[in-house]
Amino acid sequence: MKKVILKIIQGGLSPKEFIFTERTTCVIGRALDCNVTLPDDQAHVTISRYHCLLDINPPDICIRDFGSLNGTMVNGEKIGQRDISSDIGKAKHLIYPEYDLKNSDYFQLGDSIFQVIISSSGSPNSNESLNSSYASINALDKSAVSLQKSVFDDPLDKINRLLEKADDNVRGLLSIKGYHIIKELGKGSMGAVYLAQKTDTDSQANRQIAMKVMLPKVETDAKSHRQFVRETKNTKLLDHKNIVKVHDIGCYDDIFFFTTDYCESGTVSQLITRQGGKMSLHLALKILMQILDGLEFAHTVKIPDIVLADGKKSSAVGLVHRDLKPGNILLTKVSGVLQVKIADFGLAKAFDVAGLSGRTATGISAGTPFFMPRQQVINFKFAKPEVDVWAAAATFFKMVTGRYPRQYTRASDPWLTTLKTPVTPIREYEASLPEALASVIDQALTEDPELFYKSAADLKAALSKVI
């Protein structure tokens, strides 16, 4: 099993260990809700409440300083320290990058020293690694700290090669035989989505679909292929008018692809732009209620015969999106009436579980947590229905105000802002909003001590009483 172990080799918490076997985030600082809470004592007076973030996807791990006043020491080199002498113009363009960590690397916060132990299979010789690392504890090792660089193949070339093979009747690709690409619909950190059309003479002639291709960030093998298909198979159970229907899922030659319904009216994000930056309350409510309908179905759908990693079968109830935002809420028209459809259910999680995504949860190319509750920053694995409900309310906030629920600036790391900055009451941006409705939305975006609405049905019921 792939594991990342953080071993505290010096400081008041020594010799405590933290073991990670799956994708997660880990916030370290003096705040009580950090994953690793450092002592609030004189030895750690230079450490911020939320000091740094680890993005972990075994066997990969990277570290990101939150632009702290004193920085973070990694293998003897200071990273991420903000320059307090910089003028405001320079401060607005500060970037706090992520740095890869390798086996036996170490980082230091106050007098606490953490050693990184990476195991791809079995148990590493931790004593040997510890001694090697500790012996060089004052040595400057610049080669061990490298800024992540992402290099992507062209997804269009990849999908065109797949379509050529499909036309040659290659097994596993027959579901996309006869299609050709019309245009690109969008591109993201993990791949791209295209409009494709079938032009043969069968009963599905001229049918248009959306074809999404996802490119792994790491080398793949048969096991990762099986894990990915196993994880995504459940998305085909989401047969609901407010969820994009997944038709086919496949992988071939390290290319993972999906075919889904095509939604010709674009995304909610694009609609906000077309509407001049925000939209009418009537339209935003119409969209929100349909989002909640789709979420309620997904969160309560029965999932039979789940094949676990050990080969055993189980059953479960509900799928959680984890990445709901205006960009993956699609729009179409049915008999002239606007219909909302949630896209990409479970795809990011499936890539993570299969070990294909590398470490992109907090990476620059993966965007920012504008529609994410702070619980997900503290614990990326926090995947309960209320996470999606919070994101739906955040999407409504964006639709009617043109702003994000929190006040993000270029002078602060967005992940740190999510941790430290409370949500702005919605009427501060849109005073014309009815007070009763605003109260429900503010409640829906409550995070302390926990997320307020536990289900989409709860939020929809509360909204129905005030609209």
Summarize pLDDT for 240-296 with one digit per residue, the tens.
999 999 888 887 877 778 889 999 999 999 999 999 999 999 999 999 999 999 999
Mark whether 9 and 124 lie in a shared domain: yes
Q: Letter for the amino acid at 35? A: N
Amino acid sitting at position 354 = A
Percent of the chain whose pLDDT exceeds 70? 76
Is 45 a residue whose pLDDT tops 50?
yes
Q: Which domain holds residue 73?
A: 3-147
Q: Say how far apart CA 321 and CA 343 lie, in whole Å.
A: 9
Residue 18: its pLDDT value, please? 94
**Same domain, residue pair 161 and 129:** no
Same domain, 178 and 96: no
Q: Which of 30-39, 164-173, 409-418, 422-431 has the highest mean pLDDT?
A: 422-431
Indicate if 219 and 90 belong to the same structural domain. no
| Cα 345 to Cα 306: distance, rounded to the nearest angstrom | 17
Chain segment 375-404, per-residue pLDDT in tens: 888 877 667 899 999 999 999 999 999 999
Residue 326: the pLDDT is 96
- pLDDT on residue 226: 63
Which residue, of 147, 169, 193, is where some domain finishes?
147
Q: Are residues 159 and 52 in the same domain?
A: no
Confidence of residue 143 (pLDDT cuts 50, 70, 90): very low
pLDDT at 462 over 90: yes
Residue 111 sits in the same domain as residue 12: yes
Beta strands (DSSP E) in 345-395 are none
| Segment 32-55 mean pLDDT | 91
> Can you tell me the mean pLDDT for 184-204?
75
Phi-psi label, residue 357: left if phi above 0, alpha if psi -120 to 50, beta otherwise: alpha
Nearest to 399 by CA among 267, 269, 278: 278
pLDDT at 231: 61
* 159, 136: one domain: no
According to DSSP H, which parts of 6-107 are helical? Answer: 88-91
> Of the candidates 147, 173, 204, which is a domain's last residue?
147
Total tally of structural domains belonging to the chain? 2
DSSP secondary structure letter of residue 466: T
> Closest Cα to residue 397, out of 345, 436, 361, 433?
433
**CA 403 to each of CA 188, 220, 254, 279, 418: distance values in angstroms, whole numbers, following the listed order:** 22, 39, 39, 12, 14
Cα 218-219-221 angle, rounded to 5 deg: 130
Residue 63 in this model has a pLDDT that exceeds 90 = yes
Is 203 found in the same domain as 70?
Answer: no
Lowest mean pLDDT among 23-37, 291-305, 309-323: 309-323
The 3-state DSSP class for residue 29 equals: strand
Question: Which sign does the torsion angle of CA 151, 154, 159, 164 carry?
Answer: negative
Lowest mean pLDDT among 21-30, 123-132, 187-196, 293-302: 123-132
CATH number, domain of 34, equals 2.60.200.20
> How far, in Å, CA of 379 to CA of 319, rounded?
18
Are residues 106 and 188 part of one domain?
Answer: no
pTM, rounded to two decimals: 0.79
Q: Are residues 179 and 109 in the same domain?
A: no
What would the mean pLDDT of 423-442 be, rounded to a whole number?
97
Phi, psi for residue 279 in degrees, rounded to 5: -125, 170
Inform me whether the pLDDT recorded for 188 exceeds 80.
Answer: no
| 225 neighbors 353 (Cβ within 8 angstroms) | no
